[in-house]
Structure 1
Amino acid sequence: GDGHLVANCDTTSEEGVAAAAEAVARTLGACDILVNTAAVLRPGGLDTLPLAEWNAVLAVNLTGYFICAQAFGRQMRKTGRGSLIHVASIAASNAQGQSGAYSVSKAAVVMLSQQLAAEWGPHGIRSNVVSPGLVVTPMSQAFYDTPGVTERRTAVVPLRRIGAPQDMADATLFLASDRSSYVNGEEIIVDGGFARTLMSHVPRPGF
């Protein structure tokens, strides 16, 4: 059917997530697909970053993913099938300065997904990552509202455009569907080729 349920919860709360998972199962049946996407950014240099800011980012961006995977994964194990999709970032494999624990948390998400893929694969459960590049979202909108930023960012992306949420949704849909039934433990980078441009910054006289 086309039934739906909106269940508010704090993803860093084991009790809150358990209640949401129970509500979903009661209303819609056992969970087949989990998309872990809640994230926060608390910018700052590591030399002065308060421990509370570090912990806050890890709690949402990493521990929350683990809590949700555990809670909804129990339902998947009972049915013997499921797909976990964790939203990370190209910052997972490219250190993003002045961003506090953000890059660290996203790198950990990639490893969490790989471990889930190895441990839960025998139960028919797949675990994969979607890593966005430059995307306009409510969290990043302020950057793009600054004059000149959109143009400068577009210029460094090989496809010459900034990503949209729909680009991420399309990759997520692939990983959620049976079209990716043999894809497990992988990371799909959705960034227009930006993360692969390192060598283009090297001056090469004559070329």
Structure 2
Amino acid sequence: MFKIFALVFLTIAIANAATTGHHRTVEKFNKYADDVICKLENKEGFDPMNCPDFVDEFDRKIGLLDFQGQLSLTEIKVLGLHKLERACDATVRHENGDLRVHFQLKTPPNHPISMQYNLLFHMQSLHPQFKMVTDIEDFVLELTLLQKNGTTLLIGFELKEFTKIKNHVGGMTILNPLLSFLFNIFMKHFDGYVRSEMSQVLAPAFKRVIESHSLNLY
């Protein structure tokens, strides 16, 4: 009977030790994620961040009318990235002796990511342009890290969510009846633009900081 109790006690002790060790690892990665954000905040060019110009073609029909042209975003500047914070605890999984880690960064309430830019349309003889500010209230990044042989690598970066988008328009150069039509065209391109361009600009910034400041788990 004593041996049974001893075996049960030992099993519980091992399980508790494993759980405690996992929690400590999660806490270390939580702190590491917070430190990465802090280091990025102090990097020149991170906030505000300049993005490359964007140009795309459009072809839109309304009834029998066919509207073809080009839209451009220029002088693009992203503000508010320094407000990003860790959304929750890191998720840590063991894989063949390595650690795969996921964590999300989000904007806090009432602190949207803002994009300032010029929006230009070229449509036959019409060339309307706007000074734009787009606020993105729900902005979530997901990062995947691999901890391997004492080195931390960024192996996954995704703009997971951006919703509650509000556009503020200034400097209108066209009549209001055309406004909703043009912005309907614009918003169909905006989703793809943000996912592509923001990832291309942000991912290298995170990669440089993460891979130059590997986490020491011991």
TM range, smaller chain: under 0.3
Which has a greater percent of strand? 2
**TM-score, normalised relative to structure 2:** 0.25
Structure with higher Rg: it is: 2
Which has a greater percent of helix? 1
**TM-score, normalised relative to structure 1:** 0.25
